[in-house]
């Protein structure tokens, strides 16, 4: 206490000067409009910068939760789109102009879950390979979250792969970057709708090949290649890649070989969506029984 009193006595004149200076400045700003305006503008500018800096720091530390919430919201929106339902059945129950009169919730109740075809499930990538001949991605969702083998997997930009193995909390996805004869994706040209198959030739992680496109097709560089919807794995019109070049093997060839720039950046894929085709088993059973009857 004695030291504190000595300190104030030693610097009394300095503290008195500061007090009088603050009082004078307060009188100047209070009684002069120009100075008061300059002070208010300066203080607002300074506080605005401080708030912006604080918000940037706070946003940085909440990026993970922000990304997770955005991915969940995207999955919810995908599940509400009419493309997630069996289009033929929905139009059979209600005419298109009648459907537009309902809200999303009402429409779902009227259509019913029996005509839903696709259900989207979000997941985060926790491991990824791009340099092997057969590449896998590991996601942090498993059977406990509804993930099953042979579900199609897409990213924010396009097709990623197919679920191969599933545990309770994790799943492995064989990515499009897999060079195997039994692995390809049914695809079509978005502009002209000609069909083909997309496979990876093992050249690099950013390109793939589309084959079996008929010679009569009108192709041009830059066109988009999308899923055909004929496969039970993916809905139609999901991007696979973009045409970089195309050629015929020789003059007698009846089909083009097209080189694609892949829509998905496999070197930086972080979030994906597994797509559950709820009518896949019914479709497969019907097709198998038909094939056996013909055979």
pLDDT digits (tens, 9 = 90+) for 177-225: 998 866 889 999 999 999 999 999 888 899 999 998 998 888 989 999 9
Q: Where are the alpha helices (DSSP H) in 179-279?
A: none
Whole-angstrom Cα Rg for the chain? 31
DSSP 8-state symbol, 213: E
pLDDT over 50 at 124, yes or no: yes
Position 13 confidence tier, pLDDT thresholds 50, 70, 90: confident
CB distance 166 to 143 below 8 Å = yes
What's residue 251's pLDDT?
Answer: 73
pLDDT over 50 at 167, yes or no: yes
Query: In the predicted model, what is the mean pLDDT of the chain?
Result: 79
**Residue 223: which residues within 8 A CB-CB, separation 6 or more?**
189, 190, 191, 242, 243
Position 58 confidence tier, pLDDT thresholds 50, 70, 90: low
What's residue 59's pLDDT?
Answer: 54
CA distance 119 to 146: 10
CA distance 188 to 262: 14
CA distance 85 to 114: 9
Q: Which CATH architecture has domain 117-286?
A: Beta Barrel (2.40)
Domain spans, the chain: 2-61, 117-286
What's residue 261's pLDDT?
Answer: 95
CA distance 269 to 80: 24
């Amino acid at each position: 206490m004695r030291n504190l009193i000595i300190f104030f006595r030693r610097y009394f004149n300095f503290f008195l000067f500061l007090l009088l200076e603050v009082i004078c400045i307060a009188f100047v700003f209070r009684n002069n409009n120009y100075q008061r305006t300059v002070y208010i503008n300066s203080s607002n500018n300074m506080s605005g910068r401080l708030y912006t800096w604080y918000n940037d720091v706070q946003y940085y530390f909440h990026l993970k939760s922000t990304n997770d919430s955005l991915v969940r919201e995207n999955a919810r929106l995908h599940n509400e789109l009419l493309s997630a339902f069996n289009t033929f059945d929905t139009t059979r129950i209600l005419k298109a102009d009648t459907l537009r009169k309902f809200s999303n919730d009402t429409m779902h109740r009227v259509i019913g879950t029996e005509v839903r075809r696709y259900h989207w499930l979000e997941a985060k990538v926790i491991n990824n390979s791009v340099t092997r001949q057969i590449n896998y991605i590991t996601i942090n969702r498993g059977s406990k979250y509804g993930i099953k083998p042979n579900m199609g997997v897409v990213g924010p930009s396009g097709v990623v792969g197919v679920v191969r193995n599933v545990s309770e909390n994790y799943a492995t996805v064989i990515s499009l970057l897999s060079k195997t004869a039994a692995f390809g994706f049914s695809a079509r040209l978005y502009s002209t709708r000609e069909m083909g198959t997309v496979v990876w030739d093992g050249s690099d992680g950013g390109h793939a090949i589309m084959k079996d496109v008929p010679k009569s097709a009108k192709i041009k560089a830059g066109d988009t290649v999308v899923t055909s919807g004929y496969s039970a794995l993916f809905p139609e019109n999901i991007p696979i890649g973009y045409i970089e070049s195309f050629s015929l093997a020789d003059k007698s060839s009846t089909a083009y070989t097209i080189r694609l720039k892949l829509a998905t950046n496999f070197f930086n894929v972080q979030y994906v969506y597994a797509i559950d085709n709820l009518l896949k088993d019914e479709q497969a059973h019907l097709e198998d029984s038909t094939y056996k009857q013909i055979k």
